[in-house]
Amino acid sequence: PDGSRVVVANEGEPKDYCEPGLANDPEGSVTILDIPADRSQLPTAAVRTANFHGVFPELPREVRFFGPNASPAQDLEPEYIAVADDSKTAYVTLQEANAIAVVDLATGEVTALHALGTKDHSLRINQFDASDRDDAVRLATWPVEGMYQPDTIAFYLFDGSRYLVTANEGDTRDYEC
């Protein structure tokens, strides 16, 4: 918000686990580029990379960890970023992991990882149409839990309180080998 940094989500999505020789699962990270007041100094601007190496010896139980033989650094794939109003903290969606990472922009370190839990679709307020095989809309409750899996994220202030809002798109890691 203060224009002092550019923050980039480096998703690190895997290429293909199923094709021999093509298995490639790069690590996800967040790049932070400090923008100098004197724009002519941009080529020498400070750049930091926040990654997931050893940050959490044990991931929270509710974080979805899925990639075959993947490390947390490979499996946590930053999707979108929202920056707090004070320009000190970034909130990063980790869609497939059903989580949000918190990044300290001054130090370039991941400081927290929050699992988002699930939604109870047996409740009337959480009805959904479970079929994609007809042209009808049939909202109903179902005895299942669904993950949020946030895609985009926004930060905003309202009445002195801070909020994060996510578009919970959901995503699959469908490796058919």
Predicted local distance difference test score (pLDDT) of residue 62: 82
Distance, CA of 132 to CA of 130 (rounded, Å): 7
Predicted local distance difference test score (pLDDT) of residue 162: 95
The pLDDT of 64-88, averaged and rounded, is 88
**Which pLDDT tens digit goes with each residue over 26-42?**
899 999 999 998 888 88
Question: How many other CB atoms are found less than 10 A from the CB of residue 72?
Answer: 22
Residues 6+ apart with CB under 8 A from 155: 82, 83, 84, 85, 91, 162, 163, 164, 165
pLDDT of 59 over the 60 cut: yes
Predicted local distance difference test score (pLDDT) of residue 20: 57
Distance, CA of 173 to CA of 67 (rounded, Å): 8
pTM: 0.87
Distance, CA of 147 to CA of 176 (rounded, Å): 21
**Which pLDDT tens digit goes with each residue over 86-145?**
999 999 999 989 999 999 999 999 999 999 999 999 999 999 999 989 989 999 999 999
Do the beta carbons of residue 141 and residue 124 sit within 8 Å?
A: yes
Predicted local distance difference test score (pLDDT) of residue 122: 97
Predicted local distance difference test score (pLDDT) of residue 175: 59
Band (159; pLDDT cuts 50, 70, 90)? very high
